[in-house]
C-alpha cells in the first residue's frame, strides 16, 4: 500500500521569507500523481498544486512550487514571499490511478505559521 | 460558480441517533468523494462514486455507515446508530472527468456525538 510521510509536524516562517515543506512517499509504481492541499483555520481544503509523475518539469503556481525528485520519492513544496494568509495546515497527497482509481492517500500534515 | 455544498455545517447529536450528512457536488463533476478527518487518523477516504455508482467503499468503517448518490447533484452519508467515536469533520469532494484527478472539497460538516 502507498504511504505518504510528512516529517515536519509544525513549521514557522517570517512574512516575506521562503519556506519548504517536506513530503516523501512510498510506492513501487511508475505513473502516479502528487498533490499539495492547504487547510486554513476555516478548515476548507484547497488544492494548491498538482504534479504528474511522468513529467520531469516541476509544477509551479504563482508563489508555490514543488521540487519533485522521483528517484528519491520526494515531493517538497516551496512557498516564496510568505504571506500571513499562508498560515494553514498543508497536506501532501498521492494518487495511483490503477484501473481508473481516484483514491487519494494523504499525509498527516504540516502546520505552517507565518509570523508578521 | 458555486463550489461543493455541504449541509449541515455543524451537527450535534446523541449517541444512538441517526445522522444524515448531505452534499451537492460541483455541477458537471463526475466523481464524488466522502472523507473523514480526525486528529488521530488524519484524512481518510470513506467512499467514492463515479457517475453515481459506488466505486470504492473499502474505507467505510462498518455497517453503521452508508452512502448514496441518487443523482448527479446529490449525495448523502448516513450513520445509524451514531457513536461518540464517529465525532469528526466529514468532507465531501468532487472531481471532473476522470484523468484530471483534481478533487475540490466542500467546507465540511463537524459532527459531534455525545
Tell me the C-alpha distance between A6 and B111, whole Å.
27
pLDDT, one tens digit per residue, over A39-87 is 999 899 999 999 999 988 999 999 999 999 999 999 999 999 999 999 9
Q: Do B107 and A42 touch (CB under 8 A)?
A: yes
Q: What integer pLDDT is reported at residue B83 of this predicted model?
A: 96
Contacts of B51 in chain A (CB under 8 A): none
Task: Check if the beta carbon of residue A108 is closer than 8 Å to that of residue A24.
Answer: no
Candidates B24, B15, B13; CA nearest to B106 is B24
CA atoms in the 13 A half-sphere facing the CB of B18? 6
User: Which residues in A have their CB inside 8 Å of a CB on B?
Assistant: 33, 35, 37, 42-47, 50, 91, 95, 97, 100-104, 106-109
Q: How far is CA A26 from the centre of its chain?
A: 15
Q: What integer pLDDT is reported at residue B93 of this predicted model?
A: 96
Q: Do A47 and B103 touch (CB under 8 A)?
A: yes
For residue A84, report the phi and psi dihedrals to the nearest 5 degrees: -55, -35
pLDDT, one tens digit per residue, over B1-48 is 689 999 999 999 999 999 999 999 999 999 999 999 999 999 999 999
Best probe of the B interface among A34, A43, A45, A94, by most B CBs < 10 A, is A45
Q: What integer pLDDT is reported at residue A1 of this predicted model?
A: 72
The size of the A-B interface in CB pairs under 8 A is 48
Please name every residue paired with A19 in a beta bridge, in sequence order, or none if there are none.
A79
Task: Check if the beta carbon of residue A89 is closer than 8 Å to that of residue A6.
Answer: no
Q: What is the mean pLDDT of residues A23-40?
A: 94
Residue A36, CA distances (Å) to B20, B86, B110 in order: 30, 27, 23
Query: pLDDT-based confidence at A110, cuts 50/70/90?
Result: very high
Amino acid at each position: 500500500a502507498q504511504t505518504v510521510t510528512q516529517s515536519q509536524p509544525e513549521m514557522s516562517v517570517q512574512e516575506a521569507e521562503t519556506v519548504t515543506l517536506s513530503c516523501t512517499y512510498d510506492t513501487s509504481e511508475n505513473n502516479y500523481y502528487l498533490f499539495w492541499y492547504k487547510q486554513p483555520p476555516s478548515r476548507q481544503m484547497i488544492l494548491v498544486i498538482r504534479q504528474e509523475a511522468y513529467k520531469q518539469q516541476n509544477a509551479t503556481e504563482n508563489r508555490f512550487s514543488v521540487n519533485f525528485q522521483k528517484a528519491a520519492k520526494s515531493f517538497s513544496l516551496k512557498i516564496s514571499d510568505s504571506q500571513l494568509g499562508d498560515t494553514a495546515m498543508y497536506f501532501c497527497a498521492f494518487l495511483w490511478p490503477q484501473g481508473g482509481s481516484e483514491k487519494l492517500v494523504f499525509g498527516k500534515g504540516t502546520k505552517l505559521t507565518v509570523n508578521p | 460558480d458555486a463550489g461543493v455544498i455541504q449541509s449541515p455545517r455543524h451537527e450535534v447529536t446523541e449517541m444512538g441517533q441517526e445522522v444524515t450528512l448531505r452534499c451537492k457536488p460541483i455541477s458537471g463533476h463526475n466523481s464524488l468523494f466522502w472523507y473523514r478527518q480526525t486528529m488521530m487518523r488524519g484524512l481518510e477516504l470513506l467512499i467514492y462514486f463515479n457517475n453515481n455508482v459506488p466505486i470504492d467503499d473499502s474505507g467505510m468503517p462498518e455497517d453503521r455507515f452508508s452512502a448514496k448518490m441518487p443523482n448527479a447533484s446529490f449525495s448523502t452519508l448516513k450513520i445509524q446508530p451514531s457513536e461518540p467515536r464517529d465525532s469528526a469533520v466529514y468532507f465531501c469532494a468532487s472531481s471532473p472527468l476522470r484523468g484530471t484527478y483534481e478533487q475540490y472539497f466542500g467546507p465540511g460538516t463537524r459532527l459531534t456525538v455525545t
